[in-house]
Amino acid sequence: MADISWNKTLSRQIGENYARYGLVGNHPSLLRIFNEIEKVSRISGVTVLITGESGTGKELVARALHRLSYQERRPFVEVNCSAIPENLLEAELFGHEKGAFTDAKAQRKGLLEISHQGTLFLDEIGHMSAKLQVKLLKVIEEKTFRPLGSTEEREVSVRIIAATNLDLASAVREGGFRNDLYYRLSVFSIHLPPLRERGDDVLLLAEHFLEQFQREHKTKARKFAPRTERLLLDYPWPGNVRELKNALERAVLLNGHEVLHPEDLSIDRRMSERRHFYGEPVVLLHEGDHMVVKIPPRGLNLKQLERRILEEALSLTEGNLSQTAELIGLSRDTIRYRIKKHGLVKKRAGEPPQGARLSHRDR
């Protein structure tokens, strides 16, 4: 297998150049997101929809869009649409006049008005009620709103950024979300991939959090055992970056030794076995001219298997693409494509890709 410790060192060196806006990593998908953030942030007033599983960093992207925009000195106001009941959310967003309802003892500005000339970040937009969806659509299209209990329309200029971990396109088809609002919100969309699809970024993030918690909590934990690194790569991280961060902080706080081992991480290692054949390899046997494949009872992840085979071949050939192509029966162009596909990409001229030491011949 490829040298994970070497991978980690290289990832750290490259990743320092790509740790932006609180997002840490060097996977091609993350570099694409950095580019998208920088492009759309300067387009004044355009709405943005950020999608991705819970724990992938959607709030960080929203804050980066605001910080890089021309409204950076204006308010950034965040509201979680799933955490506030519908009747209270309406008052929170649009404000109310005195006496608008039982407890409205004084006039109050809403978050929409407070964020005037700035950014309003609507997290978990998929949980917004149909009634509020109509009112939000009016704000986007007409730049006006009406506080509860008021008869006057008020103008507002605000950039709206929405985020969701739901499939809004499916919600539209099923009637759970307005299609006109969906299209207005998704003028520009940014999708955050789950951590399990970001390759060696998990090691880079783990190193980042380990150093952070070591400083914050003054603990001895400073590095990972090789088996821990393999577990970090193989575990599917259903809670994404948030789960990784929490697992590492717990491990650092509860263990007083310098090296963290797999048993120090409070995660279900059976998920790694079930999803990524952790500790139970695929067996390939030759019987004459035929190859027999023995698949583990728990199944396998074909994408991960392809990556493992590529890493192993690159390790055996010390990164020589011609020898690697010959070893596994593919062309050099196909090998280059698959290196790029799995994030084992050469970052600069003369610099080897993650997972492979390129020979002088292939540089």
Which pLDDT tens digit goes with each residue over 164-193? 999 898 889 888 899 999 999 999 999 999
What sign does the CA torsion over 207, 213, 216, 222 have? negative
Q: Which option is the CATH number for 28-192: 3.40.50.300, 3.30.565.10, 3.40.50.1820, 1.20.120.720?
A: 3.40.50.300
108 DSSP assignment: B
Q: Where in the chain is the domain with CATH 3.40.50.300?
A: 28-192
Q: Which of 6-10, 64-68, 343-347 has the lowest mean pLDDT?
A: 6-10
Q: Are strands 188-192 and 48-52 parallel, antiparallel or unpaired?
A: parallel
Q: Where in the chain is the domain with CATH 1.10.8.60?
A: 196-267
The pLDDT of residue 330 is 84
What top-level class would CATH report for the domain 196-267?
mainly alpha
Flag whether pLDDT at 125 surpasses 90.
yes
Query: Is 135 in contact with 129 (CB distance < 8 Å)?
Result: no
- For residues 249 and 209, what is the distance between their CA atoms, to the nearest angstrom? 8
- For residues 363 and 352, what is the distance between their CA atoms, to the nearest angstrom? 8
Q: Which helix (H) or strand (E) holds 163?
A: strand 159-164
Q: Is 333 helix (H, G, I), strand (E, B) or coil?
A: helix
pTM summary value: 0.70
**What is the CATH code of the structural domain delimited by 301-341?**
1.10.10
How many other CB atoms sit within 10 Å of the CB of residue 153? 13
Flag whether pLDDT at 270 surpasses 60.
no
How many other CB atoms sit within 10 Å of the CB of residue 279? 13
Q: Where in the chain is the domain with CATH 1.10.10?
A: 301-341
Higher pLDDT, 82 or 270: 82
